[in-house]
Structure formats: C-alpha cells, structure tokens
C-alpha cells in the first residue's frame, strides 16, 4: 500500500471515545480548565477528587488533538540528554526532571489499576542507540549517558548491542506504553463521577480579571482560578505582550508517524530512540489479540517550514519495512511537539489566577501528567519540588541562550519571506481537488482550498497570531504558519496555537 493510501489518522482514534455536550449557559465553578488532553483531564480528575468544583472546556472533542496524535511513549528519558541538563542546571535539577517523569508514569499506572482502565498499559525497557546504518562510533557518548543516569540513581546500563540495531546502546528500565484515547476516555468518566463537568466544542474567547470571568461559547464562566492546558498557551489574562514573550521561548515542530501490525516481530517489545537529529522513535507493543503494534516516528521539522511532507512519510515507511519486512503498514499521521529554549518545560502560574503548562518536547504524556500534579498543588496551596525549576519566569538561559536566538531569528525571515513571495495569479478553478494554494485575489493573499466535491473555502492567508503568511501542508491538508507553528484547517479554523482566532473567511463559498 502506497503511503498516500494509508489511513491518515492516528491508530488510537479508530475506536469509539467519550463525547460530551457543549456549554450553552453561564456557569460558576472553583477551577476552570481549558483543554481536554492529558494535562487538562488529569488535572480535572485530581482536583475533582480533592473536592473542588471543576469545569473542563475543550474546543473540539476529547482526545482528538495532540494527545490523540501521540505515539504514547511513557518515558522519563527526556529529549534533552541527561548530561546536557546536568551541565546546564546541575545534578540535582537533572535528577529532579527525570524523577518527575518516573512519578508521572507511576501515577498513570496507579490510575489505570484503581479505575480499572482497559488501555493496555505495559512496562517495557527503553533503548537509546546510534542511528541505523551509521558508522560513527558513539560508544563513548552512550557510555557517558549511562554513567550519569546510574550515578543519579536511575536504572540505566550501557550494553554493547541494541536488540534493534546491534549497535551499542543504553538500556533504561521501567518505561511504559498505553492507549492514550482509552485512558483519557476512562479518566473523563471518572471526572464526572467525582463531580466535575466536561464540555466539548466549547472555545475560550476571553478572560477578564477582578473578578475573574472567562467567556466560553459566548457565555460567562466565573471561577476563582483557571488552568490553560492547550499544548500551546493561550493569551488568557496574560495580555498579548507577556504571551508573546513566552512564545519566543517556544518552537513548534511537526513530527510524522507510520504504523502497522506484526504477528511475531524479531525486535522485542520496547521503546527505541536513536541519536540522530531529528531522531527516530520506534514503539513495539503488545496488542490484546496477541499480535504487536509497530509505530515509527521522526522526520521532524519546524512547523510550516518544509514542503516535502509526503517524502517524509515515505522515508519512515521504507525504514520500518527494513526493520520489520513482514509488517502491514496501515496508518500514518502527524503531530506537533513544542520545544523550549533550554530543553525544560514551562509549567507554573502566569498570574495569581492563571496556570500554564507547555513545552513538553517529546515527553508530552509524562510532562502533561506531571503538570496536572503541579497544577493541583497550586490550587490546593501546596509546595512542590518542580515549581522553581519549571517556572514560566525563570531567567537562567545558561545553555539555552543560543537556542533562544537561533529559534527566534527565523521569525523576521519567515515573516518577510511570506510577503515577498509572489502569490499565484492562477484562477481558483485551476486548483486540483482536495488541494490548497495561496492566490492573489483582488490584491489580497488568500488561502484557497478546493474540497473533493468542488466546494471552495477562501480565507485570508495571514496568520492571526503575529501576521505571517501561512503555507499549504499537502500531506495533512492544513494551513501552517512558518513563524510560530500555528495550524489551521482547510476552512481556516484553528487546529493548533499559538493563534487563537481563525483565518478571516470569505463566506461566499461556491463550487467550481
């Protein structure tokens, strides 16, 4: 099966999952949570279980955003090497970061057991190895990583031969996998049983202070505090200037995934990451029918700054078939990871009333769960070990200054490039079905998409975040902003922030 013919949706969304009503009236609560992914739902459960009146609002449906697009590796091994974290922040900080991941996995395992969630939670070893076909000797680096981890008390061991590549590797014990949609759906039911309220298709459009009032679906939500768990932070009550300052510390990267089923893989169940940049990540996990899921991801690039997404899928498909010749690849999808300037997430209060959590890199499930624990402590007035290390206001750019400059120097380039690039003058009728183009219509840059049935969607091509010109993503059928990673649907609706409002739309849609 050719890559373009695969099911272009995450494996996890094949199954039924929880649905809820949208907000249609004013509401009062103790805590409002914006975002129905792993961070928001776990926070809602912990706070509802602690007796707080909780209301959660998701702009779409539960689990259909980034949590539903993860490969669901549960690992305390961060994208930033432990040795790098230690060098930048010290041994205590490095140990604390990885212990946070361990605690998150333990909590997820505990909730899976206590709530009897059928999500195929399974403990597996994790492996860090040099890339396939690489002839560069990385033994010394890998050995050093194992030694640092072992010194700080983690179950890490240098081995001469990885079960995937046969190359030297580091083995980390007690990593895990699960089905994120099954887990989140069960957690949502538990939130309601604990007295919490969940609303889908409910978008935050405003926030006022003194007293705190949110506007969701045009209705007033009065609360004491609110938690923004939206992958990329919203402006909220921060104000545009502060929100923009935080955004300069974040970078959105698109990542690609292919997957399929194998009966009896030669590669044992486990989590495999290589040391390439960008790296590849492979998941071999047990299924309930006795077979195995094999999921390979990688080929990352800054969102909106690549035009060959189809080739990236094909690269992954070829590599996965090389590793597992018998595999039947039947799914592909993409997601987005948010990187930070110094390799650590930003988790904590933005104001006395607002809590933010973002910048999880490739550790979305574990940092998301840890964020929920930290948010719960914040609401309950309890101290926690990570609040200073992950603070939104931390100013220690030691080790992160070059990354900060490198990531943000691209903003003016892509802003100017978008305006200098001459839009196509061709007629709308020349656009192929199920494709989009940036056209010059009456002197304005328009993002024009033609649906398979010929219906035309005509939107402004100017991103509503900071004014860059969006690019068409052929593989995912989205409009992507190359400056800060916002993504929009074919009709201009926000798929991923930091943009909060849709592309301006010309409602005179018609068929060609």
Q: Is 314 helix (H, G, I), strand (E, B) or coil?
A: helix
Going along 187-327, which residue ranges are E strands?
197-199, 204-208, 213-216, 219-222, 225-228, 250-262, 270-274, 281-286, 292-302
Q: Which tens digits make up the pLDDT trace of 5-45?
A: 555 778 888 777 778 999 999 999 999 999 999 999 999 99
User: Domain 26-120+178-249+341-403, CATH 3.50.50.60 — does that match?
Assistant: yes
Q: How far is CA 158 from CA 83, 129, 141, 148, 279, in A?
A: 15, 10, 10, 11, 19
Percent of the chain residues topping a pLDDT of 70: 88
The encoded tokens of residue 374 equal 């930290």
Is residue 489 a contact partner of residue 478, using CB atoms and an 8 Å limit?
yes
Give CA–CA dist 286/70, Å, rounded: 17
Give CA–CA dist 209/330, Å, rounded: 49
Is residue 104 a contact partner of residue 39, using CB atoms and an 8 Å limit?
no
Confidence at residue 401, expressed as pLDDT on a 0 to 100 scale = 45
Question: Which of 145, 153, 150 lies closest to 170 in space, CA to CA?
Answer: 145
- Fold topology of 122-176+252-337: D-Amino Acid Oxidase; Chain A, domain 2 (3.30.9)
Residues of the chain under the 50 pLDDT cut? 1-4, 237-238, 240-241, 397-402, 404-416, 419, 509
Find the angle CA(125)-CA(155)-CA(129) to the nearest 5 degrees.
Answer: 55
| In the chain, ranges of CATH 3.30.9.10 domains | 122-176+252-337
List all residues 6 or more positions away from 126 whose beta carbon is below 8 Å from its beta carbon. Answer: 73, 75, 77, 171, 172, 173, 175, 270, 271, 272, 273
| In the chain, ranges of CATH 2.102.10.10 domains | 413-506
Provide the 10 A C-beta neighbour count for residue 377.
16
Give CA–CA dist 376/279, Å, rounded: 33
3-state secondary structure 195-208: CCEEECCCCEEEEE
Provide the 10 A C-beta neighbour count for residue 157.
13
| In the chain, ranges of CATH 3.50.50.60 domains | 26-120+178-249+341-403
The encoded tokens of residue 33 equal 């949570």
Confidence at residue 415, expressed as pLDDT on a 0 to 100 scale = 47
**What helix, strand, coil percent values describe the chain, rounded to 5?**
30, 30, 45
Confidence at residue 297, expressed as pLDDT on a 0 to 100 scale = 93
Residue 359 has what DSSP assignment? -
Confidence at residue 32, expressed as pLDDT on a 0 to 100 scale = 97
> What kind and span of H or E run contains 456?
strand 456-460
Give me the half-sphere count of Cα atoms (radius 13 Å) on the Cβ side of residue 310: 9
Is residue 19 a contact partner of residue 62, using CB atoms and an 8 Å limit?
yes
Give CA–CA dist 191/20, Å, rounded: 12
User: Domain 413-506, CATH 3.40.50.150 — does that match?
Assistant: no
- Distance in Å from the first CA to the final CA of the chain: 31
Is residue 149 a contact partner of residue 82, using CB atoms and an 8 Å limit?
yes
Give CA–CA dist 367/228, Å, rounded: 14
Give CA–CA dist 51/87, Å, rounded: 41
Strands lying side by side in the sheet with 31-34: 197-199, 54-57, 31-34, 225-228, 354-358, 346-349
């Amino acid at each position: 099966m050719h890559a373009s013919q695969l099911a272009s949706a995450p494996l996890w969304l094949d199954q039924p999952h929880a649905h809820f009503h949208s907000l249609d009236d004013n509401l009062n609560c103790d805590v409002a949570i914006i975002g129905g992914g792993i961070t928001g739902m776990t926070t809602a459960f912990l706070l509802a279980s602690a007796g707080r009146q909780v209301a959660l609002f998701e702009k779409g449906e539960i689990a259909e955003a980034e949590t539903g697009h993860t490969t669901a590796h549960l690992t305390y091994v961060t994208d930033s090497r432990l040795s790098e974290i230690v060098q930048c922040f010290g041994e205590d900080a490095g140990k604390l970061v990885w212990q946070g991941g361990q605690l998150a996995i333990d909590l997820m395992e505990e909730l899976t057991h206590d709530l009897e969630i059928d999500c195929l939670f399974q403990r597996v070893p994790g492996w860090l190895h040099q890339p396939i076909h690489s002839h560069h000797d990385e033994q010394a680096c890998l050995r050093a990583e194992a030694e640092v981890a072992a010194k700080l008390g983690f179950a890490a061991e240098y081995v001469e031969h990885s079960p995937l590549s046969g190359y030297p590797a580091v083995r980390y014990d007690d990593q895990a996998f699960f089905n994120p949609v099954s887990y989140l759906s069960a957690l949502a039911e538990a939130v309601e049983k604990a007295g919490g309220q969940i609303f889908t298709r409910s978008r935050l459009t405003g926030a006022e202070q003194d007293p705190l009032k949110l506007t969701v679906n045009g209705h007033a939500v009065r609360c004491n505090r609110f938690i923004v768990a939206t992958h990329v932070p919203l402006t909220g009550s921060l104000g545009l200037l502060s929100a923009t300052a935080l955004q300069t510390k974040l970078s959105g990267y698109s990542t690609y995934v292919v997957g399929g089923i194998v009966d009896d893989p030669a590669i044992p169940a486990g989590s495999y990451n290589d040391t390439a940049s960008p790296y590849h990540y492979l998941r071999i996990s047990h299924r309930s029918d006795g077979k195995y899921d094999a999921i390979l991801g990688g080929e990352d690039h800054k969102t909106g700054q690549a035009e060959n997404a189809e080739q990236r899928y094909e690269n992954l498909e070829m590599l996965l078939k090389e590793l597992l010749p018998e595999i039947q690849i039947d799914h592909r999808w993409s997601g987005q990871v948010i990187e930070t300037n110094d390799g650590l997430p930003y988790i904590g209060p933005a104001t006395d009333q607002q809590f933010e959590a973002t910048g999880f890199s490739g550790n979305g499930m574990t940092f998301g769960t840890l964020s929920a624990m930290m948010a719960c402590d914040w609401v309950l007035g309890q101290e926690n070990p990570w609040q200073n290390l992950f603070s939104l206001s931390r100013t220690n750019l030691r080790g992160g200054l070059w990354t900060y400059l490198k990531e943000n120097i691209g903003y003016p380039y892509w802003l100017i490039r978008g305006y200098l690039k001459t839009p196509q003058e061709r007629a709308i009728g020349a656009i192929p079905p199920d494709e989009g183009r940036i056209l010059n219509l009456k002197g304005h840059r328009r993002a024009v998409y033609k649906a398979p049935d010929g219906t035309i969607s005509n939107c402004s091509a100017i991103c509503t975040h900071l004014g860059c010109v969006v690019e068409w993503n052929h593989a995912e059928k989205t409009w992507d902003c190359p400056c800060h990673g916002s993504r929009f649907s074919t009709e201009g609706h926000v798929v991923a922030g930091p943009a909060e409002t849709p592309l301006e739309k010309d409602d005179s849609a018609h068929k060609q």
